[in-house]
Amino acid sequence: MAYLGRGLDKISNIEVLDNITFDGSSSYSITKGSVAFTPNSAQSCLISIDGVVQATNFSVNSSTIDFGVAIPSTSVCNFFLHYGTGVMTVPSDGSVTTAKLGDGAVTSAKLDSGVLPTNTPSFFAYRSGSVQNFSQNTATKLQFNTELYDTDNCYDNSTNYRFTPTTAGKYYISAGAYIDGTSTASPTGLKLYKNGSFYHSAFIYSGGLAGGHHIHNIVDFNGSSDYAEIFVESGNSSPFINYQPGSALSTFFCAYKIIGA
């Protein structure tokens, strides 16, 4: 077993071990800095009890020293030395510091599954079942009514159609919609709202032909009350959102937390 913090070739030839506190027993634990220490043999140990140096009149088994007789609790250990190479085994709780860990020594394989950051909360929702009509030149909230997934149940797909992440941080937001209507040349596009207020928009000047529109942004959320919604607006006559049934998923709303942000 390796010596904690240093290679075995770096251990000094003389180790000052912890003084033993006697309690009337014959055997005691051997430690250094409160960490279990295993001498290479009993002959390598030198201990002073009540001012009398003891050598070879005791046995050592792993990190335990046995004097063969009870040592009175009134006796005092003056010093405890070890000559040669010994091994520290189990560190005491809280004794391993950052300085004792090498750069890159802790890998992701050694971390518990809950330690590494993740891209959650995240979700993906889309429009299904029917088209959504909306009024000309009026910002209307898009109703993405079907979830493909929702890791933390942060998206409401039945009432408010909004994303309210429960973890603070920066989130990548993306949405798309297949917008159709009569051929009236006008600006058409999507709007991102945060907490009920306009945040960002992506518009193009459309000639009224059906087409896909997309919006993307990075938004800060406080992890409690902040939320995001997607609105649509078009100057076309009788505009509507086509849900594009099947695998196209052309009208969608999704988001995920950015790691480290």
Enter the pTM of the model: 0.58
Which of 26-30, 119-123, 185-189, 242-246 is least confident? 242-246
In a domain, 111, yes or no: no
Q: Is residue 113 included in any domain, yes or no?
A: no
Number of helices (H) and strands (E) in the chain: give both, helices first: 0, 21
Say how far apart CA 42 and CA 57 lie, in whole Å.
9
The answer to whether residue 104 sits within a structural domain is no
* 237 contacts: CB under 8 Å, gap ≥ 6: 136, 181, 182, 184, 208
Span 67-74, mean pLDDT? 94
Please say which residue of 76, 92, 108 terminates a domain. 92
Task: Judge if 245 and 130 occupy the same domain.
Answer: yes
For residue 112, pLDDT beyond 60: yes
- Tell which residue, 252, 261, 259, 260, has the closest CA to residue 123: 252
Instruction: Show the domain range for 22.
Output: 8-92
Q: Is there a domain that residue 147 lies in?
A: yes
Higher pLDDT, 205 or 111: 111
Report how far apart the first and last C-alpha atoms of the chain are (Å, whole number).
40
Residues 30 and 155 in one domain: no
Least confident of 47-56, 72-81, 119-128, 178-187: 178-187
Same domain, 128 and 197: yes
Domain presence at residue 61: yes
- Same domain? For 181 and 88 the reply is no
Predicted local distance difference test score (pLDDT) of residue 47: 94
Mean pLDDT rounded to a whole number for the chain: 84
**What 3-state DSSP class applies to 54?**
strand
The answer to whether residue 114 sits within a structural domain is no
| Model pLDDT, residue 208 | 53
In a shared domain, residues 37 and 131: no
- Residue 179 corresponds to which amino acid? I
Residues 6+ apart with CB under 8 A from 61: none
| Torsion over CA: 84, 89, 92, 97 (sign) | positive
Exposed/middle/buried for residue 125 (C-beta within 10 Å: 0-12, 13-18, 19+): buried
The rounded distance, in Å, linking the Cα atoms of 63 and 109 is 31
For residues 209 and 29, the model is more confident at 29
What are 157-193's pLDDT values in tens digits? 999 999 999 999 999 999 998 887 766 667 788 999 9
Whether the CB-CB separation of 90 and 98 falls below 8 Å is answered with no
CA distance 75 to 229: 77
- The answer on 135 and 79 residing in a single domain is no
Q: What is the Cα–Cα distance from 66 to 158, expressed in whole angstroms?
A: 74
- Together in a domain, 235 and 141: yes
Q: Which residue has the tokens 């306009």?
A: 198
Q: Based on the fold, state whether residues 253 and 126 are members of the same structural domain.
A: yes
112 lies in some domain: no
Residue 261 has pLDDT above 80, yes or no: no
Is the pLDDT at 153 greater than 80? The verdict is: yes
- Residue 196 corresponds to which tokens in the numbers above? 């009920």
Residue 225: give its domain's CATH number: 2.60.120.40
Q: Per-residue confidence at 6, pLDDT binned at 50, 70, 90?
A: very low
| Residue at 245: amino acid letter | P
Burial of 159 (0-12, 13-18, 19+ CB in 10 A): exposed
Q: How confident is the model at residue 117 (pLDDT cuts 50, 70, 90)?
A: confident
- For residue 181, what are the contacts with CB-CB under 8 A and spacing of at least 6? 188, 208, 210, 234, 236, 237, 238, 239, 240
Token output for 68: 């063969």
Please tell me whether residues 192 and 241 are part of one structural domain.
yes
Q: Indicate whether 161 and 76 sit together in one domain.
A: no
Residues 248 and 128 in one domain: yes
Peptide bond into 121 cis (omega under 30): yes
Least confident piece of the model among 43-47, 99-103, 218-222: 99-103
Q: What does the CA dihedral 201, 206, 211, 213 come to, rounded to 10 degrees?
A: -10
Domain count, the chain: 2
Higher pLDDT, 114 or 127: 127
Q: Is the pLDDT confidence value at 48 over 70?
A: yes
The candidate with the shortest Cα–Cα distance to 162, out of 134, 196, 189, is 196
In a domain, 133, yes or no: yes
Q: How confident is the model at residue 253 (pLDDT cuts 50, 70, 90)?
A: very high
At 156, the pLDDT band (50, 70, 90 cuts) reads: very high
Same-domain status, 68 and 129: no
